[in-house]
Structures are given as C-alpha cells and as structure tokens.
Amino acid sequence: MLSAGGFAPGRRGGITGGMATPVYPVFLHLARQPVLIVGGGKVALRKARGLMEAQAAITVVSPVLAAELAQMPNVVLRREKYHSSTISRLDIPQWRLVFAATDDPAVNRQVAADARNRNILCCRCDASEEGDFSNASVWRKEPVVVAVSTSGAAPLLAAKIAQTLVQTLDPSLVELAGLMDCWRAVVMAEIADEQARATVLRQLGGDEMLRELQSGGAVAAGELFQRYLAAAKFGPPGAGEKTTAAD
C-alpha cells in the first residue's frame, strides 16, 4: 500500500510539510462483517462495489437508490431516510464500518457523529478529513492488492499513481503470489520446525523461484517448491538455507 502525505511548495520552490492528516494503512478482513452505507447515489455505489469484493455484509439506507445499486445481489436495502437509531439497531451486531455517502453534508455530519458516539469507524465521503478513514485507489488480482492513497487530498491522482504502478508490475510476480497462496498452507502443515518453515517461505519469494517461474512456468516452479520442501523435511539441519543474496 502506498500513501502520499501532504506536501506543498515552499516560498522558494522547495517542499514543506502540508496539512493532510497522517494515515495508517491497513487491509481489513470484512468477509461477512456488517457494514452500513448511508446514501444511494454514485458514491454509495462505488463503496458497495469495493465492499462486495471484500465479501462484507452490506446494508444501504437511502430513500432513493441508483438503479445498479438497487439490483446488487446480497445487499440489504432500506429505502428510508437516515435516522440516528439506524446506527444502534438492536437486530444488527455493531457495524464494523459506516460510510456517510449522501449528497447532503448535514446528513453526513450526523452519520459521522452517531458512529463516533458508538466508537464505530466512519468514512465521510464528502469530507474525508472529518471522518476516521478514507479509501485508497485499488487494483486487485487475487491474491495481490495494490492500494494507493493521497490521504484524501487527490483521489484522481491516487488512481493515476496506482495505474502507473500496475503497468510496471511484472505479471510473473502476481502469478508467484498466487502459487505461494497455495504453497504456504502446505508448508505450514508439513514443516513443524519454525526455522525450517521460515527458510522455505523465504525461498518461495526469492529470486531463484522467480527465475524458475519465468523460465519454466508453473510446472518448473512447482518442482522447485517440492525440492525446497523435501530439503526442509528430510535434510540435515540448515539444509534448506541455500538462498540467493537477494532473498
């Protein structure tokens, strides 16, 4: 995840610290977790799309809904105006996240205040600096997720930076990440020794494995994985320690 803090040109053309709020980047596990979106327009639609990719349990509250939003599967739709009681509904476990995504600043302000009163993180989509978090520009090809933020200062620029990064990303790195997603479970299950396990995991992300994948494809990479695994399981102590300098 890449975040650009706030900087502004100084009087002499230099760079000085800006006013953007410092951010702490995280990737949240929201599968089946209750998330509330207040608003039913284009902004709410964008938020819902991203949350669907994360498999969140989404509820949308708005008297008017965009057509595509209204047709989304597995989304709870409540066609009504927002009330503070929505945040504290007894039939819903506490919301993990709340998005204030209406076109009315007063409503968004109230949503953020209600969420804060219940210690729930809220994204004010119209004024990110007045909320608890903001979204990054995201490119996703599982298991790789590239996210870029400008701390809410320039969302369009964040999207451009993300696009530039993705265009320079070696596709074999994405393929290797997918293979490692499968291999990691095997390593964790079959290698009991913590040091040997760490060595194999380091090798899997190393230059030798990447070269093998690039030259011989997934089959060759899988064979190298098996050699790493066998060396760690059956070789003498330290047998799996052969790695390239870049590892």
Q: Given this model, what pLDDT does residue 52 score? A: 96
pLDDT at 89: 77
Per-domain residue ranges for the chain?
Answer: 2-7+18-167, 171-241
Type of residue numbered 75: V
* Spatial CA neighbour of 231 closest among 222, 240, 223: 240
C-alpha 190/C-alpha 47 separation (Å) is 40
99: helix, coil or strand? strand
Q: Tokens in use for 245?
A: 């300098």
Beta-bridge partner residues of 98: 36, 122
Q: How confident is the model at residue 100 (pLDDT cuts 50, 70, 90)?
A: very high
What DSSP state is assigned to residue 224?
H
In angstroms, the first-to-last Cα distance of the chain is 21
Q: How far apart are CA 69 and CA 158, in angstroms?
A: 25
Please tell me the distance from the alpha carbon of residue 59 to that of residue 78, in angstroms, as a whole number. 7
Q: Please state the three-class secondary structure of 154-217 as a single string.
A: CHHHHHHHHHHHHHCCCHHHHHHHHHHHHHHHHHHHHCCCHHHHHHHHHHHCCHHHHHHHHHHH
- In percent, the amount of the chain with pLDDT more than 70 equals 86
CB 56 within 8 A of CB 99: no
Kindly report the backbone phi and psi dihedral angles of residue 44, in degrees, each rounded to the nearest multiple of 5, phi listed first: -60, -35
Please determine, for residue 8, whether its predicted confidence score (pLDDT) is greater than 80.
no
What Cα–Cα distance (Å) separates residue 73 from each residue in 57, 76, 92, 189?
11, 9, 19, 36
- pLDDT number for residue 4: 46
pLDDT at 33 over 70: yes
**Mean pLDDT of the 118-147 span:** 90
Q: How do strand 34-38 and strand 57-61 relate by DSSP bridges? A: parallel
Question: CA 214 to CA 171: how far, in whole Å?
Answer: 10
Single out the residue of 112, 89, 138 nearest to residue 38, CA to CA.
Answer: 112
List, as own/partner pairs, every contact residues 5-10 make where C-beta atoms lie below 8 angstroms and the sequence separation is at least 24, other chains included.
5/151, 6/151, 6/153
List residues bridging with 59 in a β-sheet. Answer: 36, 76
122 within 8 A of 134, measured Cβ to Cβ? no
Looking at CATH, the fold of the domain delimited by 2-7+18-167 is given as Rossmann fold (3.40.50)
Q: What is the largest CA-CA distance in the chain?
A: 68
Is the pLDDT assigned to residue 223 strictly greater than 90? yes
Per residue in 157-184, pLDDT (tens digit) is 988 998 898 888 999 999 999 999 999 9
